Amino acid sequence: MEGLNVSDANLIVHLHPSKSNNIYDAILRELSSLLFKFNENFDGVVLAYEFNILDKNAKILIGIHPFFGVRLKAKLLLFSPKPDMLLEGKVVKLSQGSIHLIVLGFSSATIIDEDIREEFLFKTKHEEEIFISKFHKRHVIKIGNMLRFLVKSFDEEILHISGSLVPPHTGSIWWLDRHSKEVSQPDRGNKSREAEEETILQANGTVGGTEVFSINNDHKIKKSKRKRIREES
């Protein structure tokens, strides 16, 4: 599935002196506060992380509150769906005018009537609502199925995806995997290479380059100034 990538990040976690006896758990709590939220600095939703503490000697931060900063090297798993990416989700609700899905267990997705290709007909069979292809009778979409769909847009605030089943290479994953030769697959090689290049640029730039992101006690991430980075390095 597209939309997932791993990025390296340089972080500074701000901790209260009362947490100095158990710094590792305090860092875990701060990083866990980032999970399943869209982060503009990382351009994605943080799904998982692992980290290494770079310096054993933390630096006291200048200010009213006596916090100290701990420098980390973190590896982040990010979910960043973009238009025209292919995603996979589980169907949780069907109606004549829409299909509702859950992606990765936390993000909701909706495919409305105008984005469902005319090939699919809505029917009620044995008191079960389904979409069935009028060309391939075994290509059925029902609750519980895994669906491959195209991203139209992504609402970063509520983590909601608007999707499409218009392209022929979308639909029930079970059917698509068994009839891949019958479905015209687009050339996604160039797009994959572009995505890899974008990830590399991201790792060398905003996320994993010389810029350092600091996590304060309000669980907000801020960019550190280059001058501060040079002082701490």
Over residues 155-213, the pLDDT tens digits come to 999 999 999 999 999 999 999 999 876 555 444 544 444 444 443 333 333 344 445 66
Same domain assignment for residues 177 and 93: yes
Same domain assignment for residues 45 and 112: no
Same domain assignment for residues 179 and 205: no
The two tokens of residue 173 are: 């994953």
Same domain assignment for residues 179 and 94: yes
Same domain assignment for residues 59 and 123: no
CATH number for position 177 = 2.40.50.140
pLDDT at 29 over 60: yes
Contact 12, 70 (CB under 8 A): yes
Same domain assignment for residues 44 and 115: no
**Any idea what DSSP says for residue 159?**
T
Same domain assignment for residues 73 and 10: yes
Q: What is the pLDDT of residues 106-152, one digit of tens each?
A: 999 999 999 999 999 999 988 899 999 999 999 999 999 999 999 99
Q: How far is CA 112 from CA 49, 58, 89, 165, in A?
A: 34, 52, 15, 9
The two tokens of residue 104 are: 């990765």
Domain range holding 148?
86-186
Domain count, the chain: 2
